[in-house]
Amino acid sequence: MDAREFITIGMSAERTLVVPAERTVGHFVPGMPFVYATPMMILEMEMTSGDAIRAALQPGWVTVGTEVDIRHLAAALVGATVRTTAKVIAVERRVIRFEVEAFEGTRKLGEGRHARGLVNVELFNKRLSK
């Protein structure tokens, strides 16, 4: 399957999250501040990217994260409302590339690039079970 047949540059999505204590550095690492953790911001960026293209995927196909290149620019406290955006910037045969950003209001918390690979679920599961 060739992603260029059904994924187009400019496809986008947005998600909003109110930061819970469970997504802070302090939750994972004792003694650290209770601010939005970088891995949790990246998770939200990955999920937003998936949202941008999910409706265009054929049955039995999904995308999985393959690359992240993210800068975490500012902290957000528990209770902050974080808006994450993802936009398709390039489409290859099996790879979709995104520009991703996270904001608290107008303040940019993070930015970068993310790539997702097109995967047939049945074949993927067969390879994993060997």
- Residues tagged in the binding site annotation for CoA: 65
* 106 flagged as catalytic: no
How buried is residue 31: exposed, middle or buried, by Cβ count under 10 Å (0-12/13-18/19+)? exposed
Cross-strand pairs, 61: 120
Residue numbers belonging to the annotated binding site: 65, 116
Q: Which of 24, 48, 72, 114 is flagged as catalytic?
A: 72
Catalytic annotation present for 38 = yes
DSSP-assigned beta bridge partners for residue 83: 16, 103
Rg of the chain over all Cα atoms, to the nearest angstrom: 16
Catalytic residue, from 38, 99, 104, 111: name it: 38
Residue 72 annotated to the active site: yes
Structure tokens at 83: 């808006």
Tell me which of 24, 44, 46, 48 is the catalytic residue. 46
Q: How far from 68 is each of 42, 115, 117, 121, CA to CA, in Å? A: 8, 7, 12, 22
Residues in binding site for substrate: 65, 116
Q: Is 122 helix (H, G, I), strand (E, B) or coil?
A: helix
Active site residues: 38, 46, 72
